[in-house]
Structure 1
Amino acid sequence: MTAPRDPFFPADRSIRASDSPIEIQHLGTIDYQKAWDIQAQLAGKRARDEINDQILVLEHPSVYTAGKRTQPEDRPTNGLPVIDVDRGGRITWHGPGQLVMYPIIKLAEPIDVVDYVRRLEEALIQVVRQFGIPDAGRVDGRSGVWVPAHDGSDDSKIAALGIRVTRGVTMHGLALNCDNTLEFYEHIVACGIEDAGLTTLSRELDREVTTAEPIQPLIDALDDALAGRLIVADHSFATAPDPTRVQPKRG
Structure 2
Amino acid sequence: MTAPRKPFFPADRSIRASDAPLEIRHLGVVDYREAWDLQAALAQQRAADEIGDQILLLEHPSVYTAGKRTQPEDRPTNGLPVVDVDRGGRITWHGEGQLVAYPIIRLADPVDVVDYVRRLEEAVIATVREAGVEDAGRIDGRSGVWVPADDHRRDRKVAALGIRVTRGVTMHGLSLNCSNSLEHYDHIVACGIDDADVTTLSLELGREVTLDEVTDPLVDALTAALAGDLVVSDHTFASAPDPTKIVARPR
Instruction: Normalising by structure 1, report the TM-score.
Output: 0.98
Matched ranges for 1:49-60 at <5 A: 49-60=49-60
- For the pair 1:2 / 2:3, whether they are aligned, the reply is yes
Matches of 2:198 and 2:167, distance apart in 1: 33
Partner of 2:229: 229
Q: Secondary structure at the match of 1:216?
A: helix
Residue type of the alignment partner of 2:3: T
Residue type of the alignment partner of 1:237: F
Matched ranges for 1:199-238 at <5 A: 199-238=199-238
Shift of 1:151: 4.3
- For the pair 1:26 / 2:19, whether they are aligned, the reply is no
Matches of 1:151 and 1:120, distance apart in 2: 29
Residue type of the alignment partner of 1:162: G
Shift of 1:18: 0.1
- For the pair 1:171 / 2:182, whether they are aligned, the reply is no
Matches of 1:13 and 1:2, distance apart in 2: 19
Matched ranges for 1:73-222 at <5 A: 73-222=73-222
Number of paired residues? 250
1:35-85 C-alpha deviation (Å, 9 max, x unpaired): 000000000000000101010000000000000000000000000000000
Shift of 1:10: 0.4
Shift of 1:6: 1.9
Matches of 1:183 and 1:76, distance apart in 2: 12
Matches of 1:2 and 1:144, distance apart in 2: 15
Matches of 1:180 and 1:149, distance apart in 2: 21
Identity level (%)? 73
Matches of 1:2 and 1:188, distance apart in 2: 30
1:159-181 C-alpha deviation (Å, 9 max, x unpaired): 00000000100000000000000
Q: Root-mean-square deviation (CA), in Å?
A: 0.7
Q: Which runs of 5+ in 1 are unaligned?
A: none
Residue type of the alignment partner of 2:244: T
Matches of 2:178 and 2:186, distance apart in 1: 18
Instruction: Normalising by structure 2, report the TM-score.
Output: 0.98
Shift of 1:2: 2.5
Residue type of the alignment partner of 1:239: S
Residue type of the alignment partner of 1:130: E
Residue type of the alignment partner of 1:241: P
Matches of 1:133 and 1:210, distance apart in 2: 15
